[in-house]
Amino acid sequence: MIRLDYTQAKSFLPDPELAQGLERARDAHARLMDGSGAGSEYLGWRDLMVEPDDALLGNLQDVAAEIRQRADVFLSIGIGGSYLGAKAVIEALTPYFPTGDGPEVLFAGKDMSGAYLRELLGYLEGKSVYVNVISKSGTTLEPAIAFRFVREWMELHFDDADDRIIVTTDPERGALNELRKAHPYRKYVIPPRVGGRFSVLTPVGLLPIAVAGVDIRSLFYGAVAESERLSQLDNNSAIEYAAVRCRLLENGYSTEVLAHFEPRLSSIGGWWQQLYGESEGKGHNGLLPVSLQYSTDLHSLGQYVQDGKRNLIETFLIAEDDGGDMTVDIDSANLDGLNYLEGKSLTEINRKAYEGTARAHVQGGVPVLTLWLENITPGSIGELIYFFQHAVAVSGYMLRINPFDQPGVEAYKKEMFRLLGKP
């Protein structure tokens, strides 16, 4: 269960404004639940929670088990929502350092760096490789370029290349479906009513996550449990989160910092940035989402957060149990002056760092909210994924926009393709 504490933001919102925001958020929630809001044709991410596909989860687990047994490297090719969610969950739920248990999961097609691709192909030499290319159209420039090079490399190195390549794409249309007429690649479907940034709990994210050794069933059903909790109006943390941040936006705050003290949550912040940036950033509106890793970034951007322009709100993402159970011992010399920490765990020290940072930032004029996870496990991360998806849909409706399209993304593509001479 995701718990929201916004007591440290209340002093920045008069009670009537907060009450008005909560009422508008409840109305937005109702439009989400009955499908009457803009973009309702893209509510498939909610349908997945209502009717879980256990057969699909089982199939994904079986294919992942095969890959884990046979592969040294699993290469996921995709950009935006086709890789950010998988990367976020994998980094949150797997060890910091390689254990040799299962293949290394790598990502390509997320940029157009020739140096990265060349070094990647060199790194793959001599390794057993499986590839998953993820693209609804099959023609998105970054993954399409990467897949062209990788496919040639796979065909040169493996007689069974067609068995080692898996496509995740549109049910019927697109370049990858055309390619499968000549190459019988295994295929997973991107549900038609699910947009890219909402696709982490579909085969888009679940296959790479399962290959990494994460329990995708617990992940998925954590999201299902959160969706059931958030279907109610009472004690709905997603409604409260949307209401507070939207009212602060209307009062002149333009940037939201998502801050956390556990490095394994950094890529969750990257996924959150896309989810909120693409969903809310329309019509010259929306909070700019910025993810920071504390205490690391307190030694870089901390000065700005404390004393810079007062247009920031800050949301802390904190786990009740972060696994930091190492304890500081006594040192007779005490040259580092740390004996005052004797007996304290790193979890306790990090908790005091969070509490002190939050108090200092509030005193510096920053409204602070805190999202609490019970722990960093598949179930809790599944809860968090659904929480953010539900909350951003509510806030999008509060802002009177369609939270499920991304028209601004096409602007750079038009200019880029014109310069490249695309027909």
Catalytic residue IDs? 278, 299, 413
- For residue 104, count other CB atoms closer than 10 A to its CB: 16
Q: What CA–CA distance (Å, rounded) separates 289 from 6?
A: 18
Take residue 164 and report the two structure tokens written for it.
């080692």
In eight-state DSSP terms, residue 329 is P
Which position has the token pair 């958030």? 230
Residue 292's DSSP bridge partners are: 259
Q: What CA–CA distance (Å, rounded) separates 344 from 411?
A: 52
Q: What CA–CA distance (Å, rounded) separates 374 from 382?
A: 12
43 within 8 A of 193, measured Cβ to Cβ: yes
From first CA to last CA, the distance across the chain in angstroms is 51
Which position has the token pair 């884990």? 68
Give the largest CA-CA distance in the chain. Answer: 74
Take residue 381 and report the two structure tokens written for it.
């991360």
